Structure 1
Amino acid sequence: MRQARQQDGVISGSQAQAFGLTRRQIARLVHSGEWQYPGRGAYLLPGAHPHRSRVRAALLHRPDAVACEITAARLLAFGGLPVARPDEPVHLLLPFESARRQPNGVKLHWDDVPHAHVTDIHGIPTTSAPRTLVDMVLRRDRDDAVALMDAALRGGHLTDLTSARSLAFGRRGAAARSSWWRHADGRAESPLETRLRLLLTDAGVAPEQLQWQVRDDSGRVVARLDLAWPSRQLDVEADGTSVHGGPVALYRDRHRQNLLTTLGWTVLRFTWPDVTQRPGYVTHTVTRALATGSGQP
């Protein structure tokens, strides 16, 4: 059906009947598994968009609702988001006077949102990038919040955080999080890099440079380092499995590390479990490497 394709594979019961299907025929399609029924009078057809279709179904019969929070972040294509779980609810923002009934699979939030804070993504009303970032920051811990700030900056969703910070002013939890904004840095390429940077900064060994370029004797760039202390020729790498987990990446990383070693650099590599489960090991290792670095203090 053309209308369903225009709606990311979603069709309402009334639309299906308008195309000539009876309720019994619709029920058979659902029973056979050919159509999915997420509820709220909506049906998902084969090939439905895995994310937008669920949002459209949740918005059905709610003309005053706006996609928000992580649902909006996914629509806006924010980077650094966790992999969506099958049971992840669709987050919707509604005016205060709207009904408070929570449908299955939907998480409702209430606030008065000015039109300027809403954008259109594939025909879906969605909170703007600054508003989405603030909504998420105010509901997360510092490391997750700063990782989201970093990703929003790196992805070009925001050129700076001024607009987002102004939207946070006066909201619940904003004062306690006011110092977090200064930690943001759009050069971070992953949430793991952000967490590693914050861990080391808290320990008093903040990196001197981020994404530092190393050149060989001919002046050719041979490596770009996640966290670097050029004065000590120390490179600290955040090894996420999505980038460094495959065999090609393994050989590339070994070649790169050997090359850096021949140029006098010390290379330390840390994984997600290291940073989140063994922070003391990470800070101790980096501190010792800095104390014995080959450069001048």
Structure 2
Amino acid sequence: MTLVRVSRGVRMHREAEPDLAAHVRPLTRISGSCAASHDTAARLWNFPEPERRPFDRRIHISRPSGGARMQRPGVVGHRSRLLPDEVAYVDGLCVTTRTRTWLDLAEALEIDDLVVIADYLLRIPRPEFEGRAEPYATREELLAMLRRHPGKRGLLKAREALALARLGADSPPETRLRLAMLSAGLPEPEVNKPIRNDDGDTLHAPDLSLPEYRIAIEYEGESHGNADQIVRDIEREERARAADWDEVRISKRHMANGARRAVEKIAVALRARGWRQEDAA
């Protein structure tokens, strides 16, 4: 096979079509102290894509403080204080851990995007679907990462984002909708909390809910267009209505412009249940 040069001192087979990890791996082996970090680590860990500033497609490589930044075409070099347990080796690739990557992203990302990623890390998975039972991180682990690096750029944003993170969000749109509600002055919703009828029977766990006003909020992604899912959604709404709960259904089209239409739709349901904006002031 013919070798082609992809960076100084790095060759690959011409016929190969390397994925991101294969492209990054040799750059982390140039010296024993290199680690994929920042946006590159986020992509390797499959973090949710930021809405306001998508992940940089250049390769981000960190070296310890005091060393020279890597300077190569298509590479963004960083000098960072990396502790031994803040890097992981995945298939021979040295990459910053998920918690450290989240903190590094605070240098450039907006708070809402940091909250989305924090919710993703904190979410308790469903083993039958995901093959894992533990979250990627706990709130205590993220907080410990913040305490380790006082004075780090983006630290204040990361602290604010962690304060806004909630356990239970199943998708980025759910997190963004919750944050949009808070920003608009609406009551903060519960996240995936089971709702019950007057007899105490559990109905289901809506994506978001406002128990005081008996409002269930469901974000319906593409899977809700499936015929069987449509039937289940109708039955779910009927059960909620029978228990005197109103269901507000939100789709992607409601989420444009900072979820303005979604917030308006929820506010209408709240006002019908007796809520007033001045009550939240």
Residue number in structure 2 paired with 1:283 = 263
TM-score by length of 2: 0.77
Contact 1:237 1:268 in 2 (8 A): yes
Instruction: Write out per-residue CA displacement over residues 222-272 of structure 1, whole angstroms, 9 at most, x where no aligned residue.
Output: 42101111222111122333x435444344323322332233221112234
* 2:94 matches 1:114: no
Cα 1:173/1:292, change in 2 over 3 Å: same
Is the CA contact (8 Å cut-off) linking 1:58 and 1:90 kept in structure 2? no
User: For 2:195, what is the secondary structure of its paired residue?
Assistant: strand
Is 1:153–1:159's contact at 8 Å kept on the other side of the alignment? yes
Equivalences for 1:18-97 in 2 at 5 Å?
A: 25-26=1-2, 38-40=6-8, 41-43=10-12, 50-76=19-45, 78=47, 80-81=48-49, 88-95=57-64, 96-97=66-67
In structure 2, give the amino acid aligned to 1:268. Answer: V
What residue ranges of structure 2 are gaps of 5+ in the alignment?
A: 125-134
Give the conservation status (yes or no) of the 8 Å contact 2:43–2:55: no
Q: Secondary structure at the match of 2:193?
A: strand
AA aligned to 1:26 is T
Is the partner of 2:206 in helix, strand or coil? strand
State the 1:190 CA deviation. Answer: 1.1
Q: Is the 8 A contact 1:210 1:227 kept in 2?
A: yes
Counterpart residue number, 1:157: 136
- The residue type paired with residue 224 of structure 2 is H
Instruction: Evaluate the alpha carbon distance shift between residue 59 and residue 282 of structure 1 in structure 2; reply closer, same or farther with a 3 A threshold.
Output: same
CA distance in 1, matches of 2:243, 2:257: 32
State the alpha-carbon separation in 2 of the partners of residues 73 and 285 from structure 1. Answer: 34
Highest CA radius of gyration, 1 or 2?
1
Over the matched positions of the two proteins, sequence identity in percent amounts to 25
Cα distance in 1 for partners of 2:136, 2:203 equals: 30
Deviation string 1:125-155 (CA, Å, 9 cap, x unpaired) is 2212321110112321111011111111115
1:229-268 equivalences under 5 Å are 229-241=210-222, 243-268=223-248
Q: Distance in 2 between matches of 1:275 and 1:287?
A: 14
SS at 2:209 equivalent? strand
Provide the aligned length of Structure 1 versus Structure 2. Answer: 260
Query: Secondary structure of 1:189's partner?
Result: coil
